[in-house]
Chain A
Amino acid sequence: MTLDPERIERYARQLVIPGIGREGQERLGAARVRVVGGSSAAVPGILYLTLAGIGAIWIDDPEPVGPADSGHWIFPPHTVGEPRERVVVEALQARSRFVLLEPHRPEAVPTATVVFASSAAQAVAAAERARREKVPHVVVEWDGEGGSVVTVPLRAPCYACGRSIGGAGRPPSASASALSALAAEELILLLADPAAARGRRIDLTRGVPSVRATARLAGCACAADIER
């Protein structure tokens, strides 16, 4: 996908960033991202993916908007009870005509995945599916006021290698918006400049991030990914 003058104006602040540039913006425009989870905690991340110019975003969330979502970002009180997928798609599609937002279809094959799952089991399953599909992915673990973002480029240690031992912890709080935006940022940088991407885990503890490289666990099935 080449950048036309409208897109150049729209993404002017990104095009001058090292690691994105014109080529990176074109990669973002060509990307098809499956988003697992569309709750109020996930929406900031989905919104920033939309604003960044990801080509297609597929929302995968079978739940309705819940009372806990009400008042958050794109969920006015009257949306409670409506399907999250539809509310997210309609609200965010209005933000950009350069991005296609749709509910996820089971047969659709993404070029990347971001996981905002509400449970550890769902996060593990979604990350494993992404690994088997051989697409880079980013996984968020909520843990009360903090949490973590695990970035898994191709051939990097998988999410099972980098995740918290206990999995996701307490329900997300006000810092969830920050963590969600951080996950979007990680995916944007990964997609724009895949050669520079490294497997890493960013922990957010009381507002302060810290990063470490992920390491492959002995005997993990993802070691076979290096051969692919």
Chain B
Amino acid sequence: MPARRRARYWVGQMPLSQKSALVIGAGGLGGPALYTLAAAGVGRLVLMDADAVETSNLNRQPLFGEADVGARKAAVAAARLRALRPDARIEPLDERFAAANAAALVRGVDVVIDGSDDFATKFLANDVAVAARKPLVHGGILRTTAQLLTVVPGPAGCLRCLFEDPPPPDAMPSNADAGVLGALAGFAGALMAAEALRLLAGERGAYVGRLLTFEARTARARLVMIRRREGCPACRTPAPVA
């Protein structure tokens, strides 16, 4: 691969202990991602979650146990991760990822992992990461299907190139209505972390410009190429001429 093209996906050559990641959501996707990033040796982890632990979380959110029900997720997750990695900087934020704080948070890290469970947050994370030219690993899960997409500066498309806008409220079933297979969330969250580690190591991501969809019951995976869409309000610039 030509050096100039390869360099587009590099975020530096420092060791992982000097790298940082923002993980939005510490639940079904964010939990396994945080565990995996911590184990790999990422030096600074900023984790955001504004919820409390509920009993119905416990089938899929690995950072929490029965004794944590009612406690704040950000604090519990940070305590678990600090016990594992006393040398790492674990920064819990008990707040929502919102327009008021998003840009500063994204600018302050090397990679963003979106493990949120609502579309408004997912599209905000996409827009802010694209604007800040930071790599974003997007993930979603519902029932027995997971999807992943990596957004990096360059010719590959972003989440908004694919979907344009979040679906209308109530257009999609909620986790409570459709269910979530816990181990599938673990699979997807760990894949998101592995992808972030590839990006932090200066490698090209496996899901850059490729939406991976995996259905657990059939175990079938599908990759859909995502190109920049002309007129995408996040990417702003016209699509490159093919």
Chains A and B form a bound pair: yes
Number of chain B residues whose Cβ lies closer than 8 Å to a Cβ of chain A: 54
From B35, which residue of chain A is reached at the shortest CB distance? Answer: A73
- In the assembled complex, A184 has its CB within 8 A of some CB on chain B: yes
From B223, which residue of chain A is reached at the shortest CB distance? Answer: A208
Q: Beyond A71-B84, A184-B183, is A16–B190 a contact (Cβ under 8 Å)?
A: no
> What residues of B have a CB within 8 angstroms of the CB of A9 in the complex?
55-56
Q: Beyond A44-B32, A51-B58, A178-B191, is A95–B66 a contact (Cβ under 8 Å)?
A: yes
Looking at the assembled complex, report how far the CB atom of A193 sits from the nearest CB atom of chain B, in whole angstroms: 8
Taken residue by residue from 160 to 177, chain A's Cβ proximity to chain B (1 for < 8 Å, 0 otherwise) reads as: 000000000000001101
- In the assembled complex, A23 has its CB within 8 A of some CB on chain B: no
> What residues of A have a CB within 8 angstroms of the CB of B214 in the complex?
209
On whether the beta carbons of A175 and B191 are closer than 8 Å, the reply is yes
From B150, which residue of chain A is reached at the shortest CB distance? Answer: A207
- In the assembled complex, B108 has its CB within 8 A of some CB on chain A: no
> What residues of B have a CB within 8 angstroms of the CB of A211 in the complex?
218-221
Number of chain A residues whose Cβ lies closer than 8 Å to a Cβ of chain B: 53
Q: Beyond A96-B66, A181-B32, A207-B206, is A145–B59 a contact (Cβ under 8 Å)?
A: no
On whether the beta carbons of A71 and B65 are closer than 8 Å, the reply is no
- The one of B65, B84, B191 that contacts A73, using a Cβ cutoff of 8 Å: B84
> What residues of B have a CB within 8 angstroms of the CB of A48 in the complex?
62, 182-183, 186
Complex Cα gap A182–B218 (Å): 13
On whether the beta carbons of A207 and B207 are closer than 8 Å, the reply is yes
On whether the beta carbons of A178 and B84 are closer than 8 Å, the reply is no
On whether the beta carbons of A44 and B190 are closer than 8 Å, the reply is yes
> What residues of A have a CB within 8 angstroms of the CB of B197 in the complex?
174
> What residues of B have a CB within 8 angstroms of the CB of A11 in the complex?
59
Q: Which 5 A-B pairs have the closest CB atoms?
A: A181-B186, A185-B183, A207-B206, A178-B190, A177-B190
Footprint of B on A, CB under 8 Å?
A: 9-20, 40, 44-45, 47-49, 51-53, 71-73, 75-77, 94-97, 145, 174-175, 177-178, 180-182, 184-186, 188-189, 196, 200, 202, 206-211
